[in-house]
């Protein structure tokens, strides 16, 4: 019994528990071009501008641009987002979409480049939910499940001031 308890303690102590990095965004959007090819195919050039807070000390402002395609009733996004705060930045690619409750669209995204607190997140796949509001405004919430140690490093990140 004592051996079993020791073994379980060793196993449990080596498991990396997951933290959640959350991102809360509000902003405005516009369509720069809409092309109704036929009744089943619609292509829209999309752009938005936003500010973001996180459950860390880090905040960003940014924008996203890309194409939203509806082919035979299936929506496909090809959108790139860029966030910036001083010298720190990140880029994320949004290309998966599904409709959720209350008219929300959920979307997978991948952080593809970063400098600063999100640098360790390059390649990280995350999820977000987008809700359109009145007058071309929207809110969005993103979540990345990351290792606890990575979250701690993001929390404690101090910019290198040379």
23: domain CATH number is: 2.40.160
Give the domain range for residue 83. 18-155
Partners of residue 29 on adjacent β-strands: 48
- Decide if 106 is inside a domain: yes
> CA nearest 93: which of 73, 107, 74?
107
- Decide if 71 is inside a domain: yes
- Decide if 161 is inside a domain: no
Tokens at 145, concatenated? 């499940």
- Decide if 113 is inside a domain: yes
Q: Would you state the pLDDT for residue 162? A: 57
- Decide if 162 is inside a domain: no
Which regions of the chain are under pLDDT 50?
Answer: 1, 3-15
**Pairing mode, if any, of strands 74-85 and 18-38?**
unpaired
Structural domains of the chain, count: 1
With beta carbons less than 8 A apart as the criterion, state whether 145 and 20 touch: yes
pLDDT tens profile 9-30? 444 444 455 899 999 999 999 9
pLDDT tens profile 143-161? 999 999 999 999 999 877 6
């Amino acid at each position: 019994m004592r051996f079993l308890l020791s073994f379980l303690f060793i196993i449990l102590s080596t498991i990396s528990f997951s933290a959640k990095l959350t991102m809360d965004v509000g902003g405005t959007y516009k369509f720069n071009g809409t092309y109704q090819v036929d009744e089943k195919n619609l292509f829209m050039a999309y752009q938005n501008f936003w500010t973001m807070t996180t459950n860390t000390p880090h905040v960003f402002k940014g924008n996203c641009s890309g194409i939203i395609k509806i082919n035979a009733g299936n929506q496909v996004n090809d959108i790139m987002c860029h966030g910036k705060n001083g010298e720190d930045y990140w880029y994320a690619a949004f290309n998966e979409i599904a409709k959720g409750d209350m008219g929300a669209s959920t979307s997978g995204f991948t952080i593809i480049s970063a400098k600063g607190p999100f640098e360790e997140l390059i390649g990280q796949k995350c999820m977000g939910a987008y809700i359109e509001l009145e007058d071309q405004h929207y809110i969005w919430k993103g979540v990345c499940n990351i290792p606890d140690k990575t979250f701690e490093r993001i929390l404690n990140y101090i910019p290198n001031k040379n």
